[in-house]
């Protein structure tokens, strides 16, 4: 179907370059903010003048493009908010300068496709270039796009990424809608309070993907999305998805849950967990990256590490004793309406 060959991640944990997932993320004012790297090999003026989302997108993409054996045939990005920091900066300029003599930089970098455009300029890539903006399913639709392209040309490589930042304005808007915790949480207490809201997060994860399995980290066995506020429908979709993707009389080795500590959404995760065999281990990941629309990209990066032999950190385990993994089912839920299932497996 689709194979992952390279995987690079910028997150609140040390995941860029040397990976260290032994400790959970430490919130800062109910935010988990990324540890931005030095962005070596990227022009310094680009780093200075672009917003965080574009910097992260370029940061995860350029190492992948350098390592890919042939030029990629396309750049596919998933993002919900794009460069919100630059968007609000430009809107503020309109007010401050009364719509006169506005600086174009913030406007150019504010669009959702700014990261994909900047990557293509740096790589001199004139191929397929598309940004998917579908809120909590932005990365999933970018992934489906890569699947369709790879089925047409199995030899081609594509750059796939999920990128979102937590800027002051979009954090404030989500907080006003009740999507962030009101109480201050400490490291290790991400799932403890029985209260609405989650810890805000941000990050970028990039991959080189193709339709050929040679030297791949992981294989995509299936992806499914759903819009629903009914836990029974979500569980039924999971069961149908697994029946269609797994051989008969086989089970997954790990259920990777996007549980985020929001008591209003727990019913969806509970419905899925009760639909699994009792012996299937369950792990959680959002205490490492926080809640943001394309957090599933971080989870796919994590799955690539686990399927390549990395041990699952103890703080991620919710149930069971995970053994070496052959198949991992990722379930993510964004704001109680958008749901996705992604099944990944080792390359056989």
DSSP string across 222-255: EEEEEE-S-HHHHHHHHHHHHHHHSPTT---SEE
Cβ contacts of 32 within 8 Å, gap of 6 or more = 12, 25, 26, 199, 200, 201, 202, 288, 289, 290
Q: What is the pLDDT of residues 106-118, one digit of tens each?
A: 666 667 788 999 9
- In terms of Cα–Cα distance, which of 165, 177, 192, 203 is closest to 297? 203
pLDDT at 82: 65
Q: What is the rounded average pLDDT of the residues 60-66?
A: 97
Tokens of residue 116, six digits: 């994909």
Tokens of residue 325, six digits: 């993994």
Q: What is the rounded average pLDDT of the residues 327-334?
A: 98
Residue at token pair 């962005």:
39
pLDDT band at 309 (very low <50, low <70, confident <90, very high): very high
Least-confidence region, from 47-56, 97-106, 123-132: 97-106
Contact 59, 9 (CB under 8 A): no
DSSP E strands in the chain: the ranges are: 2-10, 74-78, 128-132, 157-164, 203-210, 218-227, 254-257, 282-284, 317-319, 327-334, 338-345
Angle made by CA atoms 73, 330, 160, in degrees to the nearest 5: 15
CA 51 – CA 83 distance, rounded (Å): 6
Strand, helix or coil for residue 310: coil
How many residues are listed for the chain in this entry? 348
| Domains of the chain in sequence order | 2-210 (3.40.47.10), 218-345 (3.40.47.10)
Beta-bridge mates of residue 283: 256, 317
Contact 9, 205 (CB under 8 A): yes
Print burial letters for 254-290: b (CB count within 10 Å at least 16), e (below 16). Answer: bbbbbbbbbeebbebbebbbebbeeebbbbbbbbbbb
CA 193 – CA 262 distance, rounded (Å): 9
Share of residues in the chain with pLDDT > 90 (%): 74
Least-confidence region, from 19-23, 149-153, 172-176, 232-236: 172-176
Q: What is the rounded average pLDDT of the residues 238-256?
A: 93
Contact 10, 62 (CB under 8 A): no
Q: What is the pLDDT of residues 86-101, one digit of tens each?
A: 677 777 778 877 777 7
pLDDT band at 187 (very low <50, low <70, confident <90, very high): low
pLDDT at 250: 86
pLDDT at 146: 98
Residue 172 has pLDDT above 70, yes or no: yes
Q: What is the rounded average pLDDT of the residues 11-22?
A: 95
Query: Can you give the pTM of this predicted structure?
Result: 0.94
């Amino acid at each position: 179907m689709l194979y992952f060959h390279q995987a690079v991640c910028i997150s609140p944990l040390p995941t860029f370059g040397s990976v260290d997932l032994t400790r959970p993320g430490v919130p800062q004012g109910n935010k988990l903010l990324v540890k931005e790297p030095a962005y070596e090999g990227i022009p310094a003026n680009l780093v200075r003048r672009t917003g965080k989302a574009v910097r992260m997108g370029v940061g995860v993409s350029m190492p992948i493009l350098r390592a890919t054996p042939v030029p990629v045939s396309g750049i596919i990005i998933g993002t919900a908010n794009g460069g919100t920091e630059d968007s609000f900066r430009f809107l503020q300029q309109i007010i401050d300068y009364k719509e006169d003599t506005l600086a174009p930089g913030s406007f150019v970098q504010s669009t959702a496709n700014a990261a994909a455009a900047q990557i293509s300029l740096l790589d001199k890539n004139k191929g397929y270039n598309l940004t998917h903006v579908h809120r909590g399913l932005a990365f999933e639709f970018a992934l489906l796009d890569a699947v369709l392209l790879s089925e047409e040309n199995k030899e081609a490589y594509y750059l796939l990424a999920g990128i979102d930042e937590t800027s002051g304005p979009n954090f404030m808007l989500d907080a006003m809608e009740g999507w962030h915790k009101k109480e201050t949480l400490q490291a290790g207490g991400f799932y403890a309070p029985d209260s609405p809201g989650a810890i805000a997060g941000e990050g970028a994860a990039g991959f080189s993907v193709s339709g050929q399995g040679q030297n791949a980290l992981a294989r995509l066995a299936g992806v499914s999305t759903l819009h629903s506020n009914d836990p029974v429908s979500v569980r039924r979709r999971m069961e149908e998805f697994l029946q269609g993707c797994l051989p008969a009389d086989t089970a997954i080795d790990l259920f990777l849950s996007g549980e985020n500590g929001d008591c209003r959404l727990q019913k969806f995760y509970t419905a899925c967990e009760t639909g699994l065999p009792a012996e299937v281990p369950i792990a959680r990941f959002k205490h490492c990256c926080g809640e943001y629309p394309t957090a599933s990209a971080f989870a796919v990066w994590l799955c690539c590490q686990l399927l390549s032999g990395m041990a699952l950190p103890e703080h991620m385990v919710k149930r069971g004793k995970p053994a070496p993994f052959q198949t991992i089912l990722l379930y993510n839920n964004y704001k109680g309406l958008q749901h996705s299932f992604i099944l990944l497996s080792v390359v056989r």
